[in-house]
A and B are shown apart, each in its own frame.
Chain A
Amino acid sequence: EAGVAQSPRYKIIEKRQSVAFWCNPISGHATLYWYQQILGQGPKLLIQFQNNGVVDDSQLPKDRFSAERLKGVDSTLKIQPAKLEDSAVYLCASSPHPGTSETQYFGPGTRLLVL
């Protein structure tokens, strides 16, 4: 079974530029998560989707971050404009069913460096 796919793996941009990350969850998984992991810290949830609807985006800086999950499958996370403090690894995860504590499976992440 294929795991969670993410691209690109690495991205370097200058501050004030825009960037987008893509995630394809495990086939059949209803719930998709985006996390931000700053160096030396544990991942922090940015947004959670259930199918194509947003369940929780309370930690998403909505003035610059946006995310969508069209058709309830793959998802895109965008930052516009980027700031230096956005430098982090962006992890995507998926789990089979919504509203449960089922295990979340993570992708390899996208390492973003903002100069």
Chain B
Amino acid sequence: AQKVTQAQTEISVVEKEDVTLDCVYETRDTTYYLFWYKQPPSGELVFLIRRNSFDEQNEISGRYSWNFQKSTSSFNFTITASQVVDSAVYFCALSEAADYKLSFGAGTTVTVRA
């Protein structure tokens, strides 16, 4: 069963627009961890954020912000005032305390046009 669902396959925006990436997860564990990674065209997966299941505070880091809602099993990611350098594939991932394996979603391709 798919543990992480990223319903948006591709998103295209014009520079300076905001873009929100959806992530819905499924787990029976009470302790789990959620991650976002960025994969630019170079191919390397770049770690962006890690959040544990007991911390529902939203987080902001520069132009990036994350909205974690356990009630809807969602961990959404917003890029504010997007830039061309934000163009990449973004992956949401889940790690459960049962085995700590990372399960990735299928990814969302973000294209920011100048």
Contact = CB atoms under 8 A, between A and B. Distances in A.
Contact of A41 (B99, B100, B107): B107
A50 B107 CA distance: 28
A107 B102 contact: no
Nearest to B43: A109
Interface string A40-61: 1111110010000000100000
B104 A103 contact: no
Given A40-B106, A41-B106, A42-B107, A99 B100 contact: yes
A91 interface: yes
A100 B106 contact: no
Given A56-B101, A101-B33, A43 B50 contact: no
Contact of B45 (A41, A91, A100): A91
B71 interface: no
A105 interface: yes
Nearest to A99: B100
Interface stretch (B14-22, B58-66, B78-86, B89-97): B89-97
Interface residues of A, number: 22
A89 B106 CA distance: 14
A111 interface: yes
Given A42-B105, A43-B104, A56-B101, 10 more contacts: A40-B106, A42-B93, A42-B106, A42-B107, A45-B101, A89-B43, A101-B50, A103-B47, A106-B46, A108-B44
Contact of B100 (A42, A100, A109): A100
Contacts of B32: 101
A102 B25 CA distance: 19
Interface in A51-88: 56
Nearest to A58: B101
Most chain A CB within a 10 A radius of its CB, from B45, B47, B101:
B45
Given A45-B101, A103-B50, A109 B106 contact: no
30 contacts: A40-B106, A41-B106, A42-B91, A42-B93, A42-B104, A42-B106, A43-B104, A44-B104, A45-B101, A45-B102, A48-B101, A56-B99, A56-B101, A89-B43, A91-B45, A99-B100, A101-B32, A101-B33, A101-B50, A103-B47, A104-B47, A104-B102, A106-B45, A106-B46, A106-B47, A107-B44, A108-B42, A108-B43, A108-B44, A111-B43
